[in-house]
């Protein structure tokens, strides 16, 4: 069973993402900020990361950058953000994100993108 680390500061959306992914057969680790996500990443070695961009303590951009540069990890990263601005999207890809989905999102589309990144 594949494990997905989900990082989202909105508690309701975090819970919803967890439910959507569990329904698809994935195990989930839920974190409300980037700092906690890094701790989980080091301990649990998930198969994929889904992260918001705008979060307290450590935002998604810093998280992606840390994973790619400091940890030298190739874990698939999907950014899920309310910002659909071209600059945000390009920035996420430049830092090493593999995919980008804007909120609000379609759960079926998210599931397809997750499956594609894990295969």
At 69, give phi and psi (nearest 5°).
Answer: -90, -55
What is the pTM for the complete model shown? 0.95
Q: How do beta strands 27-31 and 48-51 pair?
A: unpaired
User: Structural domain boundaries of the chain?
Assistant: 3-118
Q: Which mean pLDDT values do the consecutive 10-residue runs of the chain (119 residues) have?
A: 96 96 96 93 94 91 95 96 87 95 93 96
Fold of 3-118: Rossmann fold (3.40.50)
Q: What is the pLDDT of residue 84?
A: 79
Helix (H, G, I), strand (E, B) or coil at 32: coil
As given in the structure block, the two tokens for residue 13 are 């959306």
Helix (H, G, I), strand (E, B) or coil at 40: helix
Q: What is the pLDDT of residue 10?
A: 95
Q: What is the pLDDT of residue 85?
A: 86
């Amino acid at each position: 069973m594949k494990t997905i680390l989900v990082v989202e500061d909105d508690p309701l959306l975090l819970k919803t993402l967890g439910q959507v992914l569990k329904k698809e057969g994935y195990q989930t680790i839920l974190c409300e900020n980037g700092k906690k996500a890094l701790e989980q990443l080091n301990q649990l070695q998930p198969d994929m990361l889904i992260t918001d961009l705008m979060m307290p303590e450590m935002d998604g951009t810093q998280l992606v950058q840390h994973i790619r540069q400091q940890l030298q990890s190739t874990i698939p990263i999907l950014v899920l953000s309310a910002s659909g601005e071209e600059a945000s999207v390009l920035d996420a890809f430049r830092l090493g994100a593999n995919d980008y989905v804007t909120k609000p999102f379609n759960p079926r589309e998210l599931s397809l993108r997750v499956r594609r990144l894990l295969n």
